[in-house]
Amino acid sequence: MTGFPPPMGLIAELTHRCPLSCPYCSNPMELERAAAELDTEGWLSVLDQAAEIGILQVHFTGGEPLVRRDLVTLLARATGLGLYSNIITSGVTLDDRMMAALIGAGVDHIQLSFQDVDPSENDHLGASPGAFAKKQAAAARIRASGLPLTLNFVVHRGNASRIPQMIAMAEELQADRTEIAHVQYYGWGLVNRAALLPSRIQLEAATVEVEAARARLQGRMVIDYVVPDYHAARPKACMGGWARRFINISPSGRAMPCHAAETLPGFSFPSVRDTSLNEIWNQSDAFLRFRGTGWMPEPCRSCERQEVDWGGCRCQAFALLGDMNATDPACELSPHHAVMQAAVSESESAQTPFKFRRMTKQDAAQPELAGS
């Protein structure tokens, strides 16, 4: 293969179907229907090409990847090709049979998400009664299988004060790694931002709790911490930089540099149905447009951090400023940084109800899958 160094990871969004309805889901507002999903052969070809161009990891995600009847087939191909495999799941359908099948197919890692440490809040956020108990059972299964256990807690205004209890639960479940991840404001999260965004005081208190737990648990459990951009002085390197480390494939096979890129106007995202991964990565406008630093306006153009954060997030610049070419407003050096503070102020006074993620029953109907 020639061209730009290959991506490190393939993010395989197998489906937008999911038994939960979280109001901060990063999936797009227009969920892709089950009938539009890439079939088994299509995904197998993507995995073959991923290994061929030098990709090292595949992250099976969604929606809920376990609802795909061919997940085990896809997983077995990935591991057979030597790809490191990670499954990102809500865990509510991870029963004994599925656990054994995943182990049999060689899964390397499972990341299990919780909406809250409080069972009723957890079930309310996912709009799924009984989900908390199923997740705890899934955690026990993963632990018993001998795989490393990674828990993910999604944090927002309503549960940030429960971080100590989240970490205590992770200790009880003997997690090797826990991710305390504040909601990122894309997709459904952006729609519900006013109901979710924590205040600066809440964020600072949460950070103190995480730091204390990290010190206490050093050598026993790793704690990753993801903060929201809205209280930051500099943006995050979104996706490690546009088209630098990841290639994201939507359920229908559209290839994008990030999960939210389809919100950007004027792009034509190539499909793996008719374009090779090599061509997508090395030649498509969608991947070349914001790769590197050549596209940057001031102040990024003359900034010493331009190869640290790669100018932040294009989707956030578009969502908040209507201009995907602008400096990410999360950056204090952006002339538009005030929009972040305005959003924080708006959310502090807001009493908005959640808009839960929904897919109609008809859109979610299981398609017939080759090889399933």
Q: Which does 258 bind (CB under 5 to 8 A by kind): ligand SF4, ligand FES, none?
A: ligand FES
> Exposure of 256 by Cβ count < 10 A (0-12 exposed, 13-18 middle, 19+ buried)?
buried
Give 53 or 237: the residue with its C-beta nearer to ligand SF4.
Answer: 237
Are 214 and 52 within 8 A, CB to CB? no
Are 85 and 65 within 8 A, CB to CB? no
Position 320 contacts ligand FES (CB under 6 A): no
Pick the stretch among 27-35, 135-143, 203-211, 235-243 that binds ligand FES (CB under 6 A). Answer: 235-243
Q: What is the distance between the alpha carbons of residues 191 and 350, in angstroms, rounded to a whole number?
A: 13
Buried b (16+ CB within 10 A) or exposed e, 70-98: bbbbbbbbbbebebbbbbbbbbbebeeeb
Using alpha carbons only, give the angle 180, 59, 70 rounded to the nearest 5 degrees.
125
CB of 300 to ligand FES, least distance (A): 14
Q: What is the distance between the alpha carbons of residues 105 and 102, in angstroms, rounded to a whole number?
A: 5
Looking at residue 271, the DSSP 8-state letter turns out to be: B
Position 67 contacts ligand FES (CB under 6 A): no
Looking at residue 334, the DSSP 8-state letter turns out to be: S
Residue from 256, 328, 347, 359 in contact with ligand SF4 (CB under 6 A):
328
Give 7 or 312: the residue with its C-beta nearer to ligand SF4.
Answer: 312
CB of 128 to ligand FES, least distance (A): 26
CB of 57 to ligand SF4, least distance (A): 26
Looking at residue 367, the DSSP 8-state letter turns out to be: P
Position 300 contacts ligand SF4 (CB under 6 A): yes
Which tokens go with 82? 């030597």
Position 270 contacts ligand SF4 (CB under 6 A): no
Residue at token pair 């294009």: 314
Position 311 contacts ligand SF4 (CB under 6 A): yes
Residue from 313, 331, 343, 344 in contact with ligand FES (CB under 6 A):
313
Enumerate residues 241-270 that contact ligand FES by CB under 6 A: 242, 258, 260-261
Our CA dihedral for 203, 209, 214, 220, rounded to 10 degrees, sits at -130
CB of 259 to ligand FES, least distance (A): 6
Residue from 69, 305, 336, 337 in contact with ligand SF4 (CB under 6 A):
305
> Exposure of 186 by Cβ count < 10 A (0-12 exposed, 13-18 middle, 19+ buried)?
buried
Give 158 or 299: the residue with its C-beta nearer to ligand SF4.
Answer: 299
Residue from 262, 314, 330, 334 in contact with ligand FES (CB under 6 A):
314
Position 299 contacts ligand SF4 (CB under 6 A): yes
Q: What is the distance between the alpha carbons of residues 256 and 275, in angstroms, rounded to a whole number?
A: 13
Position 13 contacts ligand SF4 (CB under 6 A): no
Binding mask 231-260 for ligand SF4 (x = CB under 6 A): ---xx-------------------------
Enumerate residues 167-196 that contact ligand FES by CB under 6 A: 186
Q: What is the distance between the alpha carbons of residues 351 and 354, in angstroms, rounded to a whole number?
A: 10
CB of 349 to ligand SF4, least distance (A): 28
The H or E element containing residue 135 is helix 131-145
Looking at residue 84, the DSSP 8-state letter turns out to be: E
Give 30 or 323: the residue with its C-beta nearer to ligand SF4.
Answer: 323
Work out whether the CA dihedral 319, 320, 325, 328 comes out positive or negative: negative
CB of 315 to ligand SF4, least distance (A): 14
Looking at residue 128, the DSSP 8-state letter turns out to be: -
Q: Which does 186 bind (CB under 5 to 8 A by kind): ligand FES, ligand SF4, none?
A: ligand FES
Give 31 or 319: the residue with its C-beta nearer to ligand SF4.
Answer: 319
Position 327 contacts ligand SF4 (CB under 6 A): yes
Residue at token pair 């498509």: 284
Q: Which of 188, 227, 207, 232 is nearest to 328 (CA)?
A: 232
Give contact residues for ligand SF4 (rule: CB under 6 A): 234-235, 299-300, 303, 305-306, 309, 311-312, 327-328, 331, 333
Which positions lie near ligand FES, rule CB under 6 A?
186, 238-239, 242, 258, 260-261, 313-316
